[in-house]
Amino acid sequence: MMVERADYVVIGAGSAGCVVASRLTESDATVVLLEAGPKDRHPMIHIPAGLRTLQHHPVLNWNYETEPEEMTGGRRVYWPRGKVLGGSSSINGMLYVRGNSQDYDTWAQLGCRGWSYDEVLPYFKKSEDFRGKGEDEFRAKGGVLAVEPYRTILPLTHKFVEAAQQAGYDFNEDYNGRNQEGVTYSQNTRDHRFRASTAQTFLKAAKGRENLKVITGAYVTKLIIENKKCVGVAYRIGNKDFEVRANREVICSGGAINSPHILQLSGIGPAEHLKKLGIDVVHDSPGVGANLNDHFVVRLVHKVKGVLTLNQIADSARVLPEVMKYAIWGNGALTFGVTTAMVFCDSREGLASPDLQLLFAPASSSIKVVGKLDKEPGMTLSICPVRPQSRGTVMAESPDPMQKAVIRPNYFGTEDDIQVMLSGIKQGQKIFDQPAMKQHSIGEEVPGKPIETAEDCVEFAKARGVTIYHPVGTCKMGTDAMAVIDPRLKVNGIEGLRVIDASVMPGVTSGNTNAPAIMIGEKGAAMILEDARG
φ/ψ of residue 79, rounded to 5: -120, 95
Q: Is 159 helix (H, G, I), strand (E, B) or coil?
A: helix
**For 439, what's the count of Cα atoms within 13 Å in the CB-facing half-sphere?**
10
DSSP state of 448: -
Residues 6+ apart with CB under 8 A from 83: 36, 37, 59, 60, 61, 62
Q: Which of 507, 520, 365 is nearest to 445 (CA)?
A: 365
d(CA 67, CA 73): 11
| Residue 202 one-letter amino acid | F
Residues in the chain: 534
Is omega for the bond preceding 286 within 30 degrees of 0, making it cis?
Answer: no
What is the CA angle 297-360-322, rounded to 5?
A: 125
The whole-number pLDDT of residue 322 equals 84
Is the link from the previous residue into 447 a cis peptide, with omega within 30 of 0?
Answer: yes
Cβ-Cβ contacts under 8 Å for 122 (sequence gap 6 or more): none
DSSP code for 335? G
Does an H or E element contain 464, and which? helix 454-464
d(CA 287, CA 393): 9
Sign of CA dihedral 330, 332, 334, 336: positive
CA distance 146 to 163: 30
Active-site hit among 57, 261, 273, 470? 470
Q: How high is the pLDDT of residue 319? A: 81
What is the three-class DSSP state of 122?
A: helix
**C-alpha 328, offset from chain centre:** 31
What is the pLDDT, as a whole number, of residue 387? 98
Quote the pLDDT of residue 257: 99
pLDDT the model gives residue 144: 98
| Cα–Cα distance measured from residue 108 to residue 18, given in angstroms and rounded to the nearest whole number | 26
User: In this structure, what are the phi and psi dihedrals at residue 530, rounded to the nearest 5 degrees?
Assistant: -65, -45
In what helix (H) or strand (E) does residue 121 lie, and over which residues does it extend? Answer: helix 117-127
Residue 470 is a catalytic residue = yes
As beta bridge partners, residue 356 has 345, 385
The answer to whether the CB of 89 falls within 8 A of the CB of 470 is no
Contact 503, 520 (CB under 8 A): no
Q: Is 404 left (phi over 0), alpha (psi -120 to 50) or beta?
A: beta
Directed axis angle between helix 415-432 and helix 454-464, to 10°?
Answer: 90
pLDDT value of residue 368: 57
Cα separation, 265 vs 403, in Å, equals: 11
Q: pLDDT value at position 158?
A: 98
The one-digit pLDDT tens for each residue of the chain (534 residues) are 677 999 999 999 999 999 999 999 999 999 999 999 999 999 999 999 999 889 899 999 999 999 999 999 999 999 999 999 999 999 999 999 999 999 999 999 999 999 999 999 999 999 999 999 999 999 999 999 999 999 889 999 999 999 999 999 999 999 999 999 999 999 999 999 999 999 999 999 999 999 999 999 999 999 999 999 999 999 999 999 999 999 999 999 999 999 999 999 999 999 999 999 999 999 999 999 999 999 999 999 999 999 999 888 887 677 888 888 888 888 888 888 889 999 999 999 999 999 999 999 999 986 655 567 888 999 999 999 999 999 999 999 999 999 999 999 999 999 999 999 999 999 999 999 999 999 999 999 999 999 999 999 999 999 999 999 999 999 999 999 999 999 999 999 999 999 999 999 999 999 999 999 999 999 999 999 999 998
The type of residue at 521 is G
Angle between helices 155-166 and 415-432 (to 10 degrees): 110
- Domains of the chain with bracketed CATH: 1-38+58-89+195-293+391-411+471-534 (3.50.50.60)
Rg of the chain over CA atoms, in angstroms?
A: 22
The pTM for the full model equals: 0.97
